[in-house]
């Protein structure tokens, strides 16, 4: 089905391509004809455009000529009128001016011209033809911004805008007293009157001529379009024939046997993927494309000559443009053409490559199907609609003890099974088949004691497929399964009893968990009470200790006078040292309780590690000098660390104090700093007595001390190392100890150099 769909899609794509090719060819032919037929209309259009442009140019020139003639004429008339006014028409008083149109030449007032007369002061005293609005000042009538009245004769004829908004040409002449000036005015409407009438007449004539030319050009184009459509229809018909042949993977042959020339249709070239040739192909060109094992054109010609029939039906292979061989089936017959009745072999060639490939694939698929059926581990057999054998495998033959000569396609079921050993017991078992679906499953026992499960399914053509599976082992296991089922039921009963026991134990565990939570709450309350007690006790002990230490210092220094005996001074020093030691122990206990309660915040900030190292060395200098222990420091100047400076200094002082305490006289304590992969490593190394391996796991536990020989026999609180480890871990770092007896101890502190700001409170400050 998938292959059929692909083939349909391929055919539709080829058809669409062929139609598109035909449309493109017809379009190219139509465009070619249209190009030839559009020359005359194009020339007519160019002539119309030229004539219109020439008429427009002439009309513009006529307009300018009309304006020039009017200006020359009005100038000449003004000269004549001025001469008359300075001659016999001059009045004694401007107010008693008596003139009429008959006084002046007739052409003076033609084409809308007007004469206005003003006195010495510019007031209008007369106008011809008479105008109701001819009053007031001459300058107001001509317009306020006109230079005519000012320059008069010098201004000449000018184009102006009158006070009422009309466009006009005018001239002003000065005359003798008592008159002042005369003005002759002619509106532009009257100036262009004749020109406008001539323009309309010429435009109508040009439009009529262009309309006639348009009608002629339209008739010519319409006739050309008809010719183009007829030619396109002819080409479309030819292209449709080629498309039909191409769709059927066919091509037309016309072999002129006498001349050795062969004509191929376009579809034949398309079938071979070749470019169409406008000329005939030669006998040798076509013969070179044929497969040598399928004969040649000579063999075909001899076959036609030797046979009594004039027709040919021959299949052969031919090479396409890609160099691949495709199968062609040619059917043709002899046709006599021309005046000399020359023989032509005319026919059709069909591409049968798909049919050949289908036959080969079918044969290959049949072989593969038989091999696949033979490799099936079950007995397999196919029957047709009339219960005749189609095919089976050797498993089916062996299970039924059928002889090889009985396995023949088309053998009826009853006749075939009579040649073998039929099953003894048949028992149908339901497996969810629908009624009347043609499917059933049953079990059969063979004569040798084996059991088969046979599944039968109907095929679409009415036959059925039968698959037999050997279930002898399953049958043997069936009894074992029944026995196992009985044992399983007994086990289930035991499990029920065990479940009851487990439920009882679960209830007991729930009670124990509840008691545990209560005891945990009591322990946490006791821990908080312990922390509060230690804090209060530390405060209560510090107050008298501060007084004891202060008074002992005053007595040691004999502030208020001598004690009377030197022993008292020594006793005061011992009292002060013991008080300070006790105060340090109390401070360590208080710090440890705060750390355990999570009530310590770090005051993070950037500082140079060299300052913390120097601080620790300065604090421990006098203690080391008293024990004759050498202190060494290797720091990193100008190297910053983001941490709580007081906490770091407290850790370094505590580790240095332990190192000095457990280092005998003449020993050495070193403090070194290194930077490794963004981390600050601080090493405290001594040459002391060292620590036994069995004591290493207990290092850093609160209130635990390691029995090591000390020079002065004193012991601390056992909290210094635990406080140091807790402070380092609060920074996100780690503390590691490496030691051996008699070889000294090395403590490494590893801190991040760019730690995040963890808090803003001061070191060891209570919160909450």
Kindly report the CATH number assigned to the domain that includes residue 555.
1.10.287
Judge if 583 and 622 occupy the same domain.
no
Residue 15: inside a domain, yes or no?
Answer: no
Q: What is the domain range of residue 545?
A: 495-599
CATH number at residue 463: 3.30.450.20
CA gap 310, 330 in Å, rounded: 14
Q: Give the residue-averaged pLDDT of 502-525.
A: 86
DSSP state of 363: H
Is 367 or 2 the better-scoring residue by pLDDT?
367
Q: Kindly report the backbone phi and psi dihedral angles of residue 707, in degrees, each rounded to the nearest multiple of 5, phi listed first.
A: -70, 100
Q: How confident is the model at residue 760 (pLDDT cuts 50, 70, 90)?
A: very low
> Domain for residue 526, yes or no?
yes
Q: Which of 239, 208, 286 is CA-nearest to residue 26?
A: 239
352-383 pLDDT, tens digit per residue, is 888 888 888 888 888 888 888 888 878 888 88
Q: Which residue has the higher pLDDT, 539 or 118?
A: 118
- pLDDT value of residue 324: 87
Do both 530 and 459 map to the same domain?
A: no
Would you list the DSSP string of 732-766?
T-EEEEEEETTTEEEEEEEEETB-----SSPTT--
pTM of the shown model:
0.34
Comparing 111-115, 643-647, 661-665, the range with the smallest average pLDDT is: 111-115
Burial 81-108 (b: 16+ CB within 10 A, else e): bbebbeeebebeebeebebeeeebeeeb
In Å, how far are 34, 50, 225, 231, 462 from 37, measured between CA atoms? 5, 21, 8, 14, 70
Same domain, 594 and 728: no
pLDDT at 235 over 70: no
Residue 437: pLDDT band (50, 70, 90) is low
Output the CA–CA distances (angstroms, integers) from residue 85 to 104, 127, 185, 209, in the order listed.
10, 13, 17, 53
| CA distances (Å), origin 202, targets 48, 50, 56, 129 | 14, 15, 10, 34
Q: Which of 100-114, 473-487, 754-768 has the lowest mean pLDDT?
A: 754-768
pLDDT the model gives residue 94: 62
Give which of 129, 134, 83 is closest to 106, Cα–Cα: 129
Share above pLDDT 70 across residues of the chain, in percent, rounded to a whole number: 78
User: Do residue 143 and residue 100 come from a single domain?
Assistant: yes
CA distance 324 to 291: 11
Provide the pairing of β-strand 630-634 with 668-676. parallel
Tell me how many domains the chain contains: 5
In a domain, residue 763? The reply is: no
**Rg, the chain, Cα only:** 65
Q: How far apart are CA 647 and CA 595, in angstroms?
A: 12
Average pLDDT for 397-417? 84
Report the pLDDT value the prediction gives residue 1, as an integer from 0 to 100.
Answer: 39
Q: Are residues 610 and 591 in the same domain?
A: no
Instruction: Dump pLDDT digits (tens) for 124-150.
Output: 777 877 766 666 777 777 776 567 766
**Residue 683 is assigned to a structural domain of this protein:** yes
Examine residue 29 and state whether it is found in any structural domain, yes or no.
no
Assess whether 534 and 664 both reside in one domain.
Answer: no
Q: What pLDDT is recorded for position 258?
A: 72
Residue 479 pLDDT greater than 60, yes or no:
yes
> Residue 112 carries which DSSP code?
G
On average, the pLDDT of the chain sits at 77
First to last CA, the chain: 80
454 shares its domain with 576: no
**What local confidence, expressed as pLDDT, does residue 432 receive?**
47
| Closest to 172 measured CA to CA, from 79, 110, 103 | 79
Using the predicted structure, report yes or no on whether residue 26 has a pLDDT greater than 50: no
Is residue 710 very low, low, confident or very high in pLDDT (cuts 50, 70, 90)? very low
Residue 237: predicted pLDDT: 66
Give yes or no: residues 521 and 391 share one domain. Answer: no
pLDDT at 704: 59
pLDDT (tens digit, 9 = 90+) per residue, 739-748? 888 888 899 9
Band of residue 2 on the pLDDT scale cut at 50, 70, 90: very low
Q: What CA–CA distances, in Å, run from 551 to 556, 569, 731?
A: 8, 12, 39
Work out the burial of residue 719: count CB atoms within 10 Å of its CB; fewer than 13 is exposed, 13-18 middle, 19 or more buried. buried
Angstrom distance (rounded) from CA 227 to CA 223: 6
Is the pLDDT at 699 greater than 50? The verdict is: yes
Report the pLDDT value the prediction gives residue 316, as an integer from 0 to 100: 83
pLDDT of residue 256: 76
pLDDT at 683: 92
| pLDDT category of residue 37 using cuts at 50, 70 and 90 | low
Note the pLDDT of residue 766: 32
CA distance 452 to 467: 10
pLDDT tens, residue by residue, 269-323 = 888 888 777 667 777 778 778 888 877 777 776 666 566 567 777 788 888 888 8
* H helix runs in 171-282, sequence order: 188-191, 193-247, 266-272
Same domain for 605 and 744 = yes
Domain boundary among 435, 470, 505: 470
Q: Is residue 630 domain-shared with residue 704, that is, in the same domain? A: yes
For residue 200, being part of any structural domain is answered with no
Chain segment 241-261, per-residue pLDDT in tens: 666 666 667 777 777 777 778
Last residue of a domain, one of 147, 169, 191: 191
Quote the pLDDT of residue 11: 40
Q: Are strands 379-383 and 261-264 parallel, antiparallel or unpaired?
A: unpaired
CA distance 346 to 27: 31
Mean pLDDT of 585-611: 78
Nearest-10 Cα torsion for 108, 114, 119, 120: -80
Asked if the structure places residue 169 within a domain, the reply is yes
Which has more confidence, 419 or 566?
419
Contacts of 298 (CB under 8 A, 6+ apart): 287
The answer to whether residue 100 scores a pLDDT higher than 60 is yes
Cα–Cα nearest to 464, from 473, 454, 475, 456:
456
- 230-234, 460-464, 644-648, 673-677: segment of lowest average pLDDT: 230-234
The reply to whether 302 and 159 lie within a common domain is no
Q: Are 71 and 169 in contact (CB under 8 A)?
A: yes
What's the rounded mean pLDDT across residues 375-392? Answer: 86
Mark which of 161, 191, 221 sits at the end of a domain: 191
Domain identity same for 383 and 451: yes
Contacts of 266 (CB under 8 A, 6+ apart): 242, 246, 276
- With respect to residue 502, please indicate whether it lies within any of the assigned structural domains: yes
Each residue's pLDDT tens digit, 153-170: 777 788 888 877 788 888
Evaluate if residue 223 carries a pLDDT over 60.
yes
């Amino acid at each position: 089905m998938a292959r059929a769909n692909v083939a349909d899609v391929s055919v539709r794509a080829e058809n669409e391509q062929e139609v598109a090719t035909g449309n493109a060819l017809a379009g190219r032919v139509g465009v070619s004809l249209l190009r030839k037929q559009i020359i005359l209309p194009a020339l007519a259009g160019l002539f119309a455009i030229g004539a219109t442009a020439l008429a427009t140019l002439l009309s513009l020139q006529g307009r300018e000529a009309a304006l020039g003639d009017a200006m020359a004429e009005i100038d000449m008339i003004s000269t004549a009128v001025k001469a008359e006014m300075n001659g016999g028409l001059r009045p004694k008083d401007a107010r008693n001016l008596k003139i009429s149109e008959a006084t002046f030449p007739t052409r003076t007032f033609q084409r809308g011209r007007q004469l206005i007369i003003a006195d010495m002061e510019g007031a209008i005293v007369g106008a011809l033809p008479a105008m109701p609005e001819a009053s007031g000042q001459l300058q107001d009538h001509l317009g306020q911004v006109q230079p005519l009245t000012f320059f008069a004769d010098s201004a000449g004829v000018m184009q102006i805008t009158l006070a009422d908004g009309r466009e006009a040409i005018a001239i002003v002449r000065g005359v003798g007293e008592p008159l002042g000036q005369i003005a002759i005015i002619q509106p532009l409407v009257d100036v262009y009157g004749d020109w406008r009438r001539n323009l309309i007449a010429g435009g109508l004539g040009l439009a009529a001529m262009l309309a006639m030319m348009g009608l002629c050009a339209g008739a010519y184009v319409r006739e050309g379009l008809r010719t183009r459509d007829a030619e396109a229809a002819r080409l479309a018909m030819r292209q449709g024939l080629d498309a039909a042949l191409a769709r059927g993977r066919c091509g037309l042959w016309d072999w002129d046997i006498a001349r050795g020339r062969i004509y191929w249709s376009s579809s034949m070239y398309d079938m071979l993927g070749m470019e169409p040739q406008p000329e005939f192909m030669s006998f040798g060109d076509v013969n070179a494309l044929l497969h040598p094992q399928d004969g040649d054109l000579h063999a075909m010609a001899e076959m036609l000559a030797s046979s009594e029939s004039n027709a040919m039906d021959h299949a052969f292979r031919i090479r396409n443009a890609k160099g691949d061989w495709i199968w062609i089936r040619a059917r043709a017959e002899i046709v006599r053409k021309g005046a000399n009745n020359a023989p032509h072999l005319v026919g059709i060639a069909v591409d049968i490559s798909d049919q050949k490939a289908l036959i080969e694939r079918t044969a290959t698929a049949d072989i593969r199907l038989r091999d696949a059926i033979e490799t099936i581990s079950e007995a397999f057999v196919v029957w047709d609609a009339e219960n005749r054998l189609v095919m089976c495998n050797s498993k089916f033959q062996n299970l039924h003890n059928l002889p090889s000569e009985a396995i023949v396609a088309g053998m009826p079921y009853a006749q075939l099974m009579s040649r073998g050993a039929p099953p003894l017991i048949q028992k149908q078992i339901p497996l969810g088949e629908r009624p009347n679906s043609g499917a059933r499953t049953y079990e059969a026992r063979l004569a040798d004691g084996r059991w088969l499960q046979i599944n039968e399914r109907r095929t679409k053509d009415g036959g059925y497929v039968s698959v037999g599976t050997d279930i002898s082992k399953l049958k043997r296991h069936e009894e074992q399964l029944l026995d196992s089922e009985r044992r399983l039921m007994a086990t289930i009963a035991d499990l029920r009893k065990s479940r009851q026991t487990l439920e009882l134990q679960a209830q007991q565990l729930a009670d124990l968990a509840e008691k545990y939570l209560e005891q945990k709450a009591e322990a946490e309350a006791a821990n908080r009470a312990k922390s509060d007690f230690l804090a209060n006790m530390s405060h209560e002990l510090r107050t008298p200790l501060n007084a004891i230490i202060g008074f002992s210092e005053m007595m040691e220094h004999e502030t208020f006078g001598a004690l009377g005996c030197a022993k008292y001074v020594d006793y005061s020093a011992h009292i002060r040292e013991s008080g300070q030691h006790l105060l340090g122990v109390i401070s360590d206990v208080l710090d440890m309780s705060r750390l355990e309660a999570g009530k310590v915040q770090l005051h993070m900030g950037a500082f140079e590690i060299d300052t913390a190292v120097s601080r620790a060395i300065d604090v421990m200098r006098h203690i080391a000098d008293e024990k004759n222990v050498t202190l060494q420091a290797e720091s990193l100047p100008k190297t910053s660390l983001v941490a709580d400076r007081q906490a770091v200094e407290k850790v370094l002082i505590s580790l240095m104090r332990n190192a000095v305490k457990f280092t005998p006289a003449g020993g050495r304590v070193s403090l070194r700093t290194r930077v490794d992969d963004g981390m600050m490593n601080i090493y405290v190394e001594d040459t002391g007595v060292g620590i036994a391996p069995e004591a290493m796991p207990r290092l850093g536990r609160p209130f635990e001390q390691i029995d090591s020989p000390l020079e002065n026999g004193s012991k601390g609180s056992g909290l210094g190392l635990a406080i140091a480890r807790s402070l380092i871990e609060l920074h996100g770092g780690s503390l590691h100890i490496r030691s051996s007896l008699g070889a000294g101890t090395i403590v490494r502190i590893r801190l991040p150099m760019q730690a995040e700001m963890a808090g803003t409170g001061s070191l060891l400050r209570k919160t909450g």
